[in-house]
């Protein structure tokens, strides 16, 4: 009995280690279910199939029976990816079972195939009436164990040996299933936490726009790949007077409302960010300078018409000065931003509340 427990522990360690590394490619995927895109379900099936195959190849042979944790991999595939993932995993497990089956001794292979098919059909029916909860995972695991026990009985020599192996099989599959489910749930929480922290590190806390770090990283990416783009640098005119009149809380309200306006006016592919203070940047991939200037004019007019509201003060207006430049006017993105900043300076020096596109003249 002790040797069987030791072998099961090795099988269990292989399961958890494989899960950790194999599911890393799916760490940014939203909640996985039978309604996920077919590509995601295929990947889940391939991963679970690989793990199931490895478990079979490292299974315990006992009186002609192959005892391992393949059932956990199979149920996990059914649970997350439906029949698509389950079918791929089943095929991989049967293929691995065939490889370890001695010639002419196919009883175990036939029984394993029948168990997989029965579980696939049962799981497909059960999923129509169940939610994706831990209880449903345990139900599928229990059904799989129930289907496996008669096969285990047929492949053992005596009833006492069957009871011995059944006890070990049930305990380890329930334990393996529980740990697998909890492990995957905690792994997803960890990945979501890391992703959230990464997003926060690239997001301006006040406006929820891209911060300077993200803008700089995007510009570096443009340089690396040679992407064409235009840039708008947007500055609020006389913002100091806004802070003096309405306080810093009023100034923050203006910054937040302006951030919403910039996002609303900009195309979906644009990256809108706060460069610092009252200065904003809009990166416009594949947009020539003339179109960028027109967009800047649209933003300027929309801002001039908008009523900014703070506390009990009457609604008020603010205006914008905007500088524009494009990637064909500089060798690097840094030079393009500098030229847009020069255009912004020109807009401020010539009366404010205007858009100026960079010109070599």
> Is 38 among the domain residues?
yes
DSSP string, 123-137: HHHHTTS--SSHHHH
Of 172, 196, 220, the last residue of a domain is 196
**Positive or negative: CA dihedral 290, 295, 296, 300:** positive
Active site residue 278: yes
> Is 204 among the domain residues?
no
Among the listed residues 186, 199, 217, 278, the single catalytic one is: 278
CATH number at residue 313: 3.30.70.270
CA triplet 296, 300, 305: central angle to 5 degrees?
150
> Is 102 among the domain residues?
yes
Element (H, E) at 344: helix 333-349
What residue numbers bound the domain in which 176 lies?
2-196
What is the Cα–Cα distance from 164 to 175, expressed in whole angstroms?
A: 17
Domain shared by 154 and 10, yes or no: yes
> Is 294 among the domain residues?
yes
What is the Cα–Cα distance from 15 to 52, expressed in whole angstroms?
A: 8
Domain shared by 187 and 42, yes or no: yes
Tens place of pLDDT per residue across the chain (361 aa): 556 566 677 777 777 777 767 666 666 666 677 777 888 888 888 888 888 888 888 777 665 566 778 888 899 888 888 888 889 999 999 999 888 888 877 887 888 899 989 988 888 888 777 777 888 889 999 999 999 898 888 877 778 878 878 888 888 889 888 988 888 888 778 777 777 776 667 788 899 999 999 999 999 999 999 999 999 999 999 999 999 999 999 999 999 999 999 999 999 999 999 988 899 999 999 999 999 999 999 999 999 999 998 988 899 999 999 999 999 998 899 999 999 999 999 999 999 999 999 986 5
CA triplet 59, 64, 69: central angle to 5 degrees?
25
As for how many domains the chain has, the answer is: 2
Domain shared by 319 and 220, yes or no: yes
User: What's the pTM?
Assistant: 0.60
Name the burial class of residue 201, with classes exposed (0-12), middle (13-18) and buried (19+) by CB atoms within 10 angstroms of its CB.
Answer: exposed
Token digits for 194?
A: 């890391």
């Amino acid at each position: 009995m002790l040797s069987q427990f030791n072998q099961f522990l090795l099988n269990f360690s292989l399961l958890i280690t494989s899960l950790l590394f194999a599911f890393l490619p799916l760490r940014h995927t939203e909640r996985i279910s039978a309604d996920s895109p077919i590509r995601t379900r295929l990947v889940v099936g391939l991963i679970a199939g690989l793990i199931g195959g490895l478990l079979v190849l490292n299974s315990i042979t006992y009186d002609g029976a192959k005892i391992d944790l393949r059932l956990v991999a199979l149920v996990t595939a059914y649970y997350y990816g439906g029949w698509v993932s389950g079918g791929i995993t089943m095929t991989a497990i049967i293929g691995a079972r065939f490889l370890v089956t001695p010639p002419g001794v196919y009883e175990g292979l036939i029984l394993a195939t029948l168990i997989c098919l029965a579980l696939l059909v049962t799981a497909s029916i059960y999923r129509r009436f169940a939610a994706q909860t831990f209880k449903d995972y345990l139900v599928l695991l229990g059904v799989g164990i129930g289907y496996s026990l008669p096969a285990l009985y047929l492949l053992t020599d005596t009833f006492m040996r069957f009871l011995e192996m059944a006890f070990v099989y049930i305990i380890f599959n329930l334990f393996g299933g529980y740990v697998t489910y909890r492990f995957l749930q905690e792994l997803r929480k960890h990945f979501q936490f890391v992703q959230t922290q990464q997003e926060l590190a690239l997001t301006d806390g006040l406006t929820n726009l891209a911060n300077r770090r993200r803008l700089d990283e995007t510009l570096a990416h443009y340089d690396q790949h040679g992407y064409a783009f235009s840039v708008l640098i947007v500055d609020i005119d006389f913002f100091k007077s806004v802070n003096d009149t309405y306080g810093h809380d009023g100034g923050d309200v203006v910054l937040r409302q302006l951030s919403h306006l910039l996002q609303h006016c900009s195309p979906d592919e644009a990256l809108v960010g706060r460069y610092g203070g009252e200065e904003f940047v809009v990166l416009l991939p594949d947009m020539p300078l003339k179109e960028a200037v027109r967009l800047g004019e649209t933003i300027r007019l929309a801002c001039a018409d908008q009523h900014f509201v703070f506390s009990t003060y009457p609604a008020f207006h603010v205006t914008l000065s905007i500088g524009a430049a494009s990637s064909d006017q500089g060798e690097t993105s840094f030079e393009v931003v500098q030229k847009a900043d020069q255009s912004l300076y020109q807009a401020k020096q010539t009366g404010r509340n205007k858009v100026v596109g960079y010109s070599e003249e």
